Structure 1
């Protein structure tokens, strides 16, 4: 599960931020938590455009895609901060990311009552028209005397407090599971697979379907190559090293941007007949409609559905197994949404691989085998694998994966 945590204070030093950071590291095996700030959100003014604020765009996009939200609120004058109230005003006026979203409230305060009155007020706000969040009932986590509650490493000192926090979070996880089962996906608008809506990085001087697109666009843009260095988020590599890195991946990787233009695949050195998703160099730069022009109309609708589902944020990824593959191949496609720095949709990273060798390796290493749709343990004197509880394997009617 992926949650976002909202720091309900714009202060540089905040015990509510510290509380969320503790939750993130202490319970990382239960869920993934991304902490979001509100310090740069302007005061709500309905005459202004919410999308002018990078931080509001980020909050809207992250909350929309999250499975659940944890808000850590301080208490100022018996209520929430003006900064948090302003954020909730913005996100309930023209956009509504909290609509039917599971929300849990926690809070830390200097005083004995924790943030009880602020939390009560926040519950009322989250229930208001335009917000319409599904706030977890009960489970009030009120961290009092916050100055004395944490040690020097940011850990909560009282084990009883930690245990109660864990109980509340476990209840929230169950609550999210129930609410998510009732969630309806957003309607998918028709997708333009012809790449007719250029984005900031689109090179419009070259026809996307030009078989020499890479060479022509490289010349126009002055694209670097060879031993030229490129600074990445967490490293510096030459273009040659990046190419070697991508070619060495045990997967076929492709990238199509949010204009539905097919920009890259990593196995241009392979013959199409040897690939699970057959690509040729001339396809780089092509419209998605061109790349998939051999598909029947019904299959093209599947392509539109995948793109629309990821663009809408209904899912962060889509996985499928291609039926009709040889017995030793489980042709697996994983379509992963990509995002710009503000959290908006940036395109699709498609990962294609044969799952069968990975499955065979896993079964061998763990001493298991597939029998009648279940993974069962085989005795293994060296590893003691037979002492591990058996795991259920869901049969796949399309692939007959349980038969391999």
Structure 2
């Protein structure tokens, strides 16, 4: 599960930030938590455009896609901070990311009450029309005497408190599971698979379906190549090194931007006919509608569904297993949403690989085996059998896409 934690203070030093960071570290095996700030958000003004604030856009996109939200609120004058109240105003006026979203409230304060009154007020706000969050009832975690609660490394020292916090978080995980079953996905609008519009990174003046698009586009923008260095977020590589790195991946990788233009695939196989999702260089730059132009209309609708599902944030990834392959191949496709710095949709990163060798290796290493009939096999064994790994889980997760994927076509 992926949660976001909202720091309810805009102060540089905050015990509620410490509390969320402790939760993120201490319970990382249970869920993934991303801590978000509200320090650069202006006071709510309905005459202003919320989209002009980067941090508000970030909060909107992160909350929309999260499985649940944990809000850590201080207590100022018996209520929540003005900064947190303002954020909730912004996110319940033109946009409503909290609607039907599971929310847990925690709080830390200097005094014994541990933000109890602020939490009562926050529950009322989250229940208001326009917010409509599903706030976990009861289950209050109130951290009093916050100055003494943490050690120098930001850890809560009292083990009884940590155990109670873990119980509250376990209850929230169960609550998210229940609420998620009631979630209705956003309706998917018709996708423009033929790139009729343009985005900031679209290279204009060249037909996307031109088989020489790559060379012409690279020349037009003076694209670097060879031993020219590229500074990445966490590294410095030449273009040649980047190509070697990506081509050495044990997966077939593709990227299509949020304008539905196919821009890249790695050269993991020298012969396209040996690829699980066949691609050729002449397709680079193509419209997705062109890449999948040979599919019947019903299957094109499945392509739209995958793109629209990821664009809407209904799912962060879509997985499917392509049927009809030989026994030594489990043709697995993973379509992963990508995001711009403000959290908005940036396109699809597709990974295709044969899962069978990985499964065989796992079974050998753990001493387990597959049992059961075809399509109903599960992993059993004396070692690590509670892992829950099963071919049923893998195949079932992509059941809605089998009509799209059974030809081996991929969302390139």
| Coarse TM-score class (shorter-chain normalised) | over 0.9
**How many angstroms apart in 1 are the aligned matches of 2:269 and 2:308?**
31
- 8 A contact 1:268–1:280 mirrored in 2: no
1:380 is matched with none
Distance in 1, matches of 2:385 and 2:55, equals 46
Tell me how far 1:206 sits from its aligned partner. 0.7
What is the distance in 2 between the residues matched to 1:106 and 1:371? 45
Matches within 5 A, 1:16-165: 16-165=16-165
Aligned to 1:375: 379
The alignment status of 1:206 with 2:210, answered yes or no, reads no
Which stretch of structure 1 is more off in the superposition, 195-204 or 261-270?
261-270
Q: For the Cα contact (< 8 Å) 2:4–2:66, is it kept in 1?
A: yes
- The 8 Å contact of residues 151 and 157 in structure 1, kept in 2 or not, is answered as yes
Count of paired positions: 391
Per-residue CA deviations over 1:245-286 (Å, capped at 9, x if unaligned) read: 000000000000000000000027622211000000000000
What SS does the aligned partner of 2:253 have?
strand
Deviation at 1:391, TM superposition (A): 5.3
Residue 394 of structure 1, CA deviation: 5.0
**CA distance in 2: counterparts of 1:261 and 1:286, whole angstroms:** 6
Aligned twin of 2:301 = 301
Whole-Å separation in 1 of the counterparts to 2:110 and 2:99: 32
- Secondary structure of the structure 1 residue equivalent to 2:111: coil
Tell which deviates more after alignment, 259-268 or 220-229.
Answer: 259-268
CA shift, 1:298, in A, is 1.2
Aligned-partner Cα distance in 1 for 2:383–2:194: 55
Query: Which secondary structure state, in structure 2, belongs to the residue aligned with residue 125 of structure 1?
Result: helix
Unpaired runs of at least 5, structure 1 = 378-385, 400-404
The residue that corresponds to 1:233 in the other structure is 233
Mapped partners of 2:363, 2:385: distance in 1 = 14
Specify whether residues 157 and 330 from structure 1 end up closer, same or farther in structure 2 by C-alpha distance, changes over 3 A only. Answer: same
Gapped regions of structure 2 (runs ≥ 5): 403-412
Q: What is the CA deviation profile of residues 199-218 of structure 1, one whole-angstrom value per residue up to 9, with x for unaligned ones?
A: 00000111100111110111
Distance 2:18 2:75 in 1: 15
Match of 1:196 in 2: 196
Output one character per residue of 1:138-169: Cα deviation in whole Å (capped at 9) or x when no partner: 01111101000000000001111111111110
| Cα root mean square deviation, aligned | 1.3
* Paired residues for 1:142-291 under 5 Å: 142-267=142-267, 270-291=270-291
Determine the C-alpha separation between the residues in 1 that align with 2:255 and 2:268: 13
Quote the offset at 1:326 in angstroms: 1.3
Cα contact 2:251–2:352 (8 A) shared by 1: yes
Q: SS in structure 1 opposite 2:155?
A: coil
Aligned mates of 1:273, 1:37 — CA distance in 2 = 49
Q: Measured at CA, do residues 390 and 39 of structure 1 come closer, stay the same or move farther in structure 2, by a change above 3 Å?
A: closer
- Which string of whole-angstrom CA distances, capped at 9 and with x for unpartnered residues, describes residues 164-201 of structure 1? 11111000000000000111111000001001120000
Partners of 1:7 and 1:390 lie apart in 2 by 35
CA–CA separation in structure 2 for the residues paired with 1:390 and 1:123: 37
